[in-house]
Amino acid sequence: MARIRTIKPEFFTSEDIVSISPLARLLYIATWCEADKEGRLAWKPRTLKMRYLPSDNCNVDDLCAELTSSGLVVLYGDGLAHIPGFAKHQHVNPRESKSVLPEPTTHVDRKPSHIPRDIRDDIMARDEGRCVRCGSDDHPQLDHILPQSCGGPHVVENLRVLCRSCNAGRPVSGKGLDDDLAKDGLSLKNLRVKFGVDASNLDLHAQVGREGKGREGNSDASRQDGFEEFWEAYPSKKAKPAALKAFKTAKINGNLPLVLAHIGVMASSEGWTKNGGQFVPMPATYLNQRRWEDDAAPNPVSERKWI
């Protein structure tokens, strides 16, 4: 759901902003429109591209990487993102709905320090603009050896060049991260010691959805607990047993926040409010067809105005 947001004049001369490409700046503004009143949003690069850069010949993955590597957007949870300082800089309509997405951990709200341009250039020159793993020069990107989600700092010793493919394939938590670091003769424990990271103050599963962790031990009882959250949020209360069966079959698990966010958007949309909610899908139908994975959702009726 797109929302009306404001831009301050100093935005255009901010050091963080001028260090990224023009299209990345535009995409950053677009994330404000996608974010709820707490600065949280579902992280769907393809959707952002279709909604806000439909006619631009660009690689949205590269643009998103610019936003996350600079700390302007911080990823967390299972496919979620947070914009640090959002609530401080935006005057949100008090009637705007409360966030239905989970709150990021404390450290996410602390915006990482900016990586100076000279350091970026030094890293690129040191690694000759090529991936240190496969040698490719396809879309070279700066990578944090110890991921930011684990407290990895923006220092030369923790930065290197990876191609887009190798960077995108890196795990950020769990055994996958341990195995990935072992490829380079490193370990999470040693890196924490090296960079003085206090693991007790960090959410070491900030992007755990990529690793499949946090999905173990999900009994039918825990799924039913999640179902009650779904049932409470869903506007149509029909055929609950069929909906429960569909909920278990769908194996939503870590995607529940995204499902609830999608329902929150659709519940105020024209399609679901028309004729007193006549066209709201049956709960089981919504789940069986995985409707929450639809890329685009219309704007709510109450916000369809330009001035």
Residues 41 and 32: their CA atoms lie apart, in Å, by 9
Q: What is the pLDDT of residues 230-285, one digit of tens each?
A: 887 888 888 888 888 888 888 776 677 778 778 877 877 777 887 777 788 888 88
Q: What is the pLDDT of residues 8-19, one digit of tens each?
A: 888 888 877 888
Q: What is the pLDDT of residues 107-123, one digit of tens each?
A: 444 444 456 677 788 89
* Whole-structure pTM value: 0.40
Q: Is residue 23 scored above 90 in pLDDT?
A: yes
- Residue carrying structure tokens 């949870």: 77
With 0-12 CB in 10 A as exposed, 13-18 as middle and 19+ as buried, what is 269? middle
Residues 191 and 131: their CA atoms lie apart, in Å, by 21
Residues 114 and 127: their CA atoms lie apart, in Å, by 21
pLDDT number for residue 26? 94
- The fraction of the chain above a pLDDT of 70, given in percent, is 79
Residues 221 and 231: their CA atoms lie apart, in Å, by 15
Three-state secondary-structure class, residue 267? coil
Under 8 Å CB-to-CB from 256, ≥6 apart: which residues?
226, 229, 230
User: 117-210 maps to which CATH number?
Assistant: 1.10.30
Residues 130 and 15: their CA atoms lie apart, in Å, by 26
